[in-house]
């Protein structure tokens, strides 16, 4: 799976629409402290279905909506669209959109069609990616990986390799 484009509106510090085209190869995001680098990674996780406000550094889900500054009023909604290729065997690019409105919760669309959060989770499930992919390492998490016990680290590697599901199937086969 490769993410090719990310569009944000009203998400955290990205109050104005931002449209990022991500070229093949390595992409680096650089900028001064507080400019929104981590917010970009959180936008990716959020669009892929992240349901924990705390892991998005917020107290509630609506905290991802631009909260306003001294000079700009708060927004009523946040929307993130990500484009990915190589998902679920699809040849074409897939567009996943998540939108949250104050007091109305989150809504998801895949290629313009309204879907459930579960459908988005399923879309990413077999690509060893998604909101909880070990391929996404948040700020401060490197230390946790280094300090992990061998069994925990092995589980992370298996998850990253996309073979974690094999253990479940093996146990099932042994029980027969």
Binding site for Mg ion (CB under 5 A): 37-38, 139
Q: Is 17 annotated as a binding residue?
A: no
The distance of closest approach from Cβ of residue 34 to Mg ion in the complex, given in angstroms and rounded to an integer, is: 8
- CA-to-CA distance for 143 and 146, rounded, in angstroms? 5
* Residue 127 and residue 86 in contact, taking contact as beta carbons nearer than 8 Å: yes
- CA-to-CA distance for 40 and 47, rounded, in angstroms? 11
Q: What is the DSSP letter of 64?
A: G
The distance of closest approach from Cβ of residue 170 to Mg ion in the complex, given in angstroms and rounded to an integer, is: 39
Is 8 or 97 the residue whose CB approaches Mg ion more closely?
A: 8
What interhelical angle do 164-175 and 150-161 show, nearest 10?
100
Per rule CB under 6 A, is residue 33 in the interface with ligand ATP? yes
Per rule CB under 6 A, is residue 89 in the interface with ligand ATP? no
Per rule CB under 6 A, is residue 138 in the interface with ligand ATP? no
Q: Which helix (H) or strand (E) holds 94?
A: strand 94-101
Range in contact with ligand ATP (rule: CB under 6 A) among 45-53, 63-71, 151-159, 165-173: 63-71
- CA-to-CA distance for 17 and 14, rounded, in angstroms? 7
Is 57 or 83 the residue whose CB approaches Mg ion more closely?
A: 57
Binding residue ranges for ATP: 32-39
Residues that bind ligand ATP in the complex, under the rule CB under 6 A: 12-13, 31, 33-39, 63, 65-67, 139
């Amino acid at each position: 799976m490769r993410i090719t484009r990310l569009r944000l509106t009203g998400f955290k510090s990205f109050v104005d629409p931002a449209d990022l085209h991500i070229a093949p190869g390595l992409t680096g995001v650089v900028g001064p402290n507080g400019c929104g680098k981590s917010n970009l990674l959180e936008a990716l996780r959020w669009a892929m279905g992240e349901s924990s406000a705390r892991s998005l550094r917020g107290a509630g889900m609506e905290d991802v909506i631009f909260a306003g500054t001294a000079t700009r009023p708060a927004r009523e909604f946040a929307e993130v669209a990500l484009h990915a290729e190589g998902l679920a065997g699809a040849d074409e690019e897939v567009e996943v959109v998540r939108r949250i409105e104050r007091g109305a919760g989150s809504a998801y669309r895949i290629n313009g069609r309204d879907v459930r959060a579960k459908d988005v989770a399923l879309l990413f499930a077999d690509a060893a990616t998604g909101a909880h992919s070990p391929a996404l390492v948040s700020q401060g998490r490197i230390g946790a990986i280094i300090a992990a016990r061998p069994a925990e680290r092995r589980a992370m590697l298996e998850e990253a390799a996309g073979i974690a599901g094999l253990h479940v199937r093996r146990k099932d086969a042994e029980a027969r």
